[in-house]
């Protein structure tokens, strides 16, 4: 890239949010946004096309969402550097994102200079986690108050999130490229692990855990 600028792929399903972040990131002379994606699926395609230095990714998006996109990008390019930018400020999402392979996690409400610093550090291959969120994760581990949702595997977590959004087993099979039978098995496991018996209970748990907005 000209001037040795750090290249960025910006992923968020809201165009206005992307426009705001793009202005913010390109305000200095170190970063340039080479592509924008509005979904996890698009993010995976754009990553393979542009191979940016860093991906700035929202986590709550329709379809495979941010976690699914992180997993798929890392599966193809283990060296990918992904910074999650999220409205969720709880340990559940941060842990999931880091398990999936993200290098950083900061809240969307972060100050602009904090955001730039996070992008630059992740671009250098360093880990950057918002101090408050890092403290929260540490506390949850120490006190053993980790969420029941932490018992789910990554795939079960994806299925759980989509079920909570009201998607059917067939919808989820299409989104995740799985057979309905496989999704059905995950569905059963999710219900057993979370001790819920129907969709309403599942949605309530998702809202309580901050995975679904009330």
pLDDT in tens, the chain (214 residues): 446 899 999 999 999 999 999 999 998 889 999 999 999 999 999 999 999 999 999 988 878 888 899 999 999 999 999 999 887 766 677 888 888 899 999 988 888 899 999 999 999 999 999 888 888 777 776 766 556 777 788 888 888 888 888 889 999 999 888 899 999 999 999 888 888 888 888 888 887 776 766 5
Distance from CA of residue 41 to its chain's centroid? 12
Tell me which residue of 94, 95, 80 sits closest to 125, measured CA to CA: 80
Helix, coil or strand: residue 195: coil
Distance from CA of residue 139 to its chain's centroid? 22
- pLDDT value of residue 1: 42
Tell me which residue of 104, 107, 87 sits closest to 211, measured CA to CA: 87
Q: Are strands 54-57 and 82-86 parallel, antiparallel or unpaired?
A: parallel
Domain regions of the chain by residue span: 2-141, 148-208
What DSSP state is assigned to residue 124?
A: T
CATH of domain 2-141: 3.40.50.2300
Beta carbons within 10 angstroms of residue 148's beta carbon: 14
Backbone phi, psi, residue 83, to 5°: -110, 125
Beta carbons within 10 angstroms of residue 41's beta carbon: 18
Classify residue 212 as exposed, middle or buried by CB count within 10 Å of its CB (0-12, 13-18, 19+).
middle
CATH 1.10.10.10 corresponds to the domain 148-208: yes
Do the domains at 2-141 and 148-208 have one common CATH topology? no
Q: What is the pTM of this model?
A: 0.74
Backbone phi, psi, residue 196, to 5°: -120, 150
- pLDDT value of residue 165: 83
């Amino acid at each position: 890239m000209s001037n040795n600028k750090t290249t960025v792929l910006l992923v968020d399903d809201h165009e206005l949010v992307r426009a705001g972040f793009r202005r913010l990131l390109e305000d200095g002379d170190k970063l340039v946004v080479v592509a924008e994606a509005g979904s996890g699926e698009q993010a995976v395609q754009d990553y393979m096309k542009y191979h940016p230095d860093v991906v700035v990714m929202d986590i709550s998006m329709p379809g495979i969402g941010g976690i699914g996109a992180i997993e798929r990008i890392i599966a193809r390019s283990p060296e990918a550097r992904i910074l999650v930018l999220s409205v969720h400020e709880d340990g559940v999402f941060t842990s999931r994102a880091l398990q999936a392979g993200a290098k950083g996690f900061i809240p969307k409400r972060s100050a602009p200079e904090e955001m730039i610093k996070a992008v630059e550090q992740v671009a250098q291959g360093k880990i950057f986690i918002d101090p408050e969120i890092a403290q929260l994760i540490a506390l949850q581990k120490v006190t053993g108050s980790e969420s029941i949702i932490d018992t789910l595997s990554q795939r079960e977590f994806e299925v759980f999130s989509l079920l909570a959004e009201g998607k059917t087993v067939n919808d989820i099979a299409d989104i995740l490229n799985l057979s309905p039978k496989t999704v059905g098995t995950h569905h059963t496991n999710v219900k057993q692990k979370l001790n819920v018996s129907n969709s309403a209970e599942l949605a309530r748990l998702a809202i309580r855990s901050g995975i679904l907005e009330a």
